[in-house]
Chains A and B, each alone.
Chain A
Amino acid sequence: DAGVIQSPRHEVTEMGQEVTLRCKPISGHDYLFWYRQTMMRGLELLIYFNNNVPIDDSGMPEDRFSAKMPNASFSTLKIQPSEPRDSAVYFCASSLFVWGADTQYFGPGTRLTVL
């Protein structure tokens, strides 16, 4: 398996623009996670899905952020409109649920810069 795939790897945009980040989880994994990492706030869980259904989105910072998982092999994280404080590395991770043994596999991340 190719692992978790994220695109784009780097995104530079201007304030106010819409940004869409994409993730393809490992085939067969039933959990998908979106994280944001910054120097100031560390690694934050934004939202996670189980079998394509959002379970906990309490980490989504505000209404400008939205995430979807239309099928088991694809998820998007959208920011509209983007702001400079959204600049961060966004990671997608997936896991196969085995109670007590649920390793998360991370993608390489998308480095987002909002000017």
Chain B
Amino acid sequence: EVQLVESGGGSIKPGGSLRLSCTGSGVTFSDVYMSWVRQAPGRGLEWLGRIKRKTEGATTDYTAPAKGRFFVLRDESTNTGFLQMNSLKIEDTAVYYCTTGTGDGPSDSWGQGTLVTVSS
């Protein structure tokens, strides 16, 4: 069974940077697609970006609002995924989820989420 655990959330001021981590058991991150999805309070899910499996070049894709500010990273040696978030805005306040899947389709495993609050 795949288990994902996010960490690194918290409170931060606008303009700051934050790096979220995702550790996994029962999964080797270099063998799957890892995505980050967020959910603002009372809102729907928003896909942010992903990193493909190593055999597909570990290439990344991002949604337009995230491109240039958010970066999906992976450390194979520790089997840890990351979401680097820069120039944070108040509207980035959300629960951030790490997910894994086998391709362009579904995210079949999700972490419990970590809350990021951007406030002055």
Q: Do A and B bind each other?
A: no
